[in-house]
Structure 1
Amino acid sequence: MKVCTDACVLGAAAELTTATRILDVGTGTGLLALFAAQRNATATVEAVEIAPDAARQASHNVARSPWADRVRVHPLSLAQFAATSPAPFDHILSNPPFFRRALRSPDAARTTARHTAPDTLSFGELARFAADFLTPAGALTILLPPPEMQQFEREAAHAGLYPAARLVLHHRPGSKALRHITRFSRRAEAADTRALPIHPAGTDDYSPEFRQLLRGFYLAF
C-alpha cells in the first residue's frame, strides 16, 4: 500500500500532544500509528486493521520502528476490537474508506481500503465507536473529501460528536478543496477552519506551510 500525502498531513496536523492513549482505525501500513508514536513520546498507540495483509505489513513496519514498544497492531474489524472492551482513548485517528458510489477496484485490498461496504467500515460505525470509546474530553480526527465529510458530520452529530477544527487541503491557493481533516469533540461549537495549500501558485514545489508541517517527517525537508 502506498503512503498518501494527505494521510501524512493528517498524521502531522492532529492534536496529539496531551493524549496518553491513541487509536488509529484502519491503520493500513501503520502510517498514522507511527506518526502518533513519533509525535507523542509517552502515549500508548493502538492500531486496528481488518485486512490481513495490511495488518501484517503494519506489524512489520512497527517492529522495525523505534516505537515498537508503544504501538500494537490488532488484525481485527472495528466491531471485533470493540468487543474486547478497550480502555477509553484520548484521541482516535482515521483515514476511513470513502468511495461510496465509485466503481470498485479489481484489487480486493485496495477496494477494502477505499470503499465503504457492509463488511468493512461505515461512517456510522466509526462515529458510534468514537462516541463510546473516547474519554469525556477526547477527540476524533478524520480525513475525507468534502462531500463525504458532510455525510460523516451528520453521522457524528447523531452520535453526539461535533466539528471543533477543520484543516482544508488544496493543491494550490484558491484551488478546489481536496480533503478536509476535521477534529470532532463532544462540544457543539463553531469550528475553527484554516486552509493548507500543498504547492504554491504556479509551481510544483511544496508550499512553506506544507514544509513547516511535514519538516519532522519528510527527509527532503
Structure 2
Amino acid sequence: MFKCKQFTVKQGNCAMKVNTDSLILGSWADVTDGARVLDIGTGTGVLALMMAQKTDTSAHINAIDIDTGAVEQAKENVHASPWPHKVTVFHCDISKHISNGYDVIITNPPYFAEQNKRSAAYDAQSHTRKQARQFLSLSPEALFNAVAKNLSSTGRCYCLYPAVQENETRRIALAYGLHVQRILRVKHEATVAPYVNAYCFASTSAIETEETLIIRAEDGRYSAQYQRLCRAFYLNF
C-alpha cells in the first residue's frame, strides 16, 4: 500500500508497484481544470488519481490497462479515493481505443526491450510483470501511434523513457507527428548522468524547454527541488 496526501493506492494485485518515476511524471505533468485525460497502462491507477487531484470536478480521466488484475486494483483505488466520479477504469487494449479529443495523455510505459544479462530473478518474473516492464505489449511505435490517434490538436502527451534512448524516442515520436515541447532529465544524484527523461509531446512544434531534476542531495536526502515538485503528493514533504 502506498499513501499519498489525499489518496491511498493498494498495489498487491499489480505487477508494477508505485515508483519514483510515476510520481515524478504525475507531479511534472500540466493538466487544466475541465481537461479530458487518458492514462494508458494505468496499473494501480496512481497517475489517473494524481490527475484527478490536480483538476476540478469538470475534468474526467479515462484509465485503461490490458491486465485484468490491474484493472480491478485500479477500480478499487479509484472507488476509495475522493474522486470516484472523475475517473473511469477500462479493461482495454490501447490499439482498440480511438478518440481524438483528449487534452492530456499520460503514461509510464514499459520500456525495457530486453534484459542484457539474464538472471534467476529475471527468468522468474511473472508474465504480467514482464508485460508491465518490457516491450511485450506496448512498443514505442505502438504508443506514439495510439497517442497520435487519441490526442486533440492542442493536447499534450506526457511519458517517460530511458535517457540513453533519447534519440530513438524522439525519432519514433516525430514519425507520428509528435514534437518535444518540454523535457525533464532525471538524475539520481548531481554527479551522475540522467537515467530517465520525462517528455511532453504535442502535435505542433515549439521552442523546446529543458530542465534537470536531481532526486538526492549530497547528504543522501531528497533534494529540495524534488520535494518542491512532489510536495502535493508525498506524505513527508
- State the 1:87 CA deviation: 5.2
Question: Is residue 52 of structure 2 the alignment partner of residue 33 of structure 1?
Answer: no
User: Take 1:32 and 1:2, find their aligned partners in 2: how far apart are those partners?
Assistant: 12
- State the 1:145 CA deviation: 0.9
User: Take 1:177 and 1:22, find their aligned partners in 2: how far apart are those partners?
Assistant: 28
- State the 1:154 CA deviation: 1.3
Aligned counterpart for 1:111 among listed residues 130, 134, 138:
130
The AA in structure 2 aligned to 1:59 is K
The AA in structure 2 aligned to 1:76 is C
- State the 1:133 CA deviation: 1.5
Aligned counterpart for 1:44 among listed residues 60, 76, 92:
60
User: Take 1:20 and 1:30, find their aligned partners in 2: how far apart are those partners?
Assistant: 17
User: Take 1:148 and 1:27, find their aligned partners in 2: how far apart are those partners?
Assistant: 23
User: Take 1:156 and 1:197, find their aligned partners in 2: how far apart are those partners?
Assistant: 26
What residue is the counterpart of 1:159 in the other structure?
A: 176
User: Take 1:169 and 1:111, find their aligned partners in 2: how far apart are those partners?
Assistant: 24
- State the 1:101 CA deviation: 2.1
What residue is the counterpart of 1:92 in the other structure?
A: 105
SS in 1 for 2:196: strand
User: Take 1:18 and 1:187, find their aligned partners in 2: how far apart are those partners?
Assistant: 22
Q: Gapped runs of 5+ residues in structure 1?
A: none
Summarize the alignment of residues 51-90 of structure 1 with structure 2, pairs less than 5 Å apart.
Answer: 51-82=67-98, 86=99, 88-90=101-103
- State the 1:17 CA deviation: 2.2
What residue is the counterpart of 2:162 in the other structure?
A: 145
Q: Report the CA distance shift for 1:77/1:51 in structure 2 as closer, same or farther (over 3 A).
A: same
- State the 1:170 CA deviation: 0.6
Q: Identity percentage over the alignment? A: 32
Q: Would you say the 8 A contact 1:98–1:148 is kept in 2?
A: no
What residue is the counterpart of 1:101 in the other structure?
A: 114
RMSD (Å), alpha carbons: 1.5
Aligned counterpart for 1:182 among listed residues 195, 199, 203:
199
User: Take 1:145 and 1:184, find their aligned partners in 2: how far apart are those partners?
Assistant: 16
Q: Report the CA distance shift for 1:11/1:161 in structure 2 as closer, same or farther (over 3 A).
A: same
Count of residues in Structure 1 that have an aligned counterpart in Structure 2: 215
Q: Would you say the 8 A contact 2:100–2:152 is kept in 1?
A: no
TM-score (normalizing by structure 2): 0.86
Which deviates more, 71-80 or 10-19?
10-19
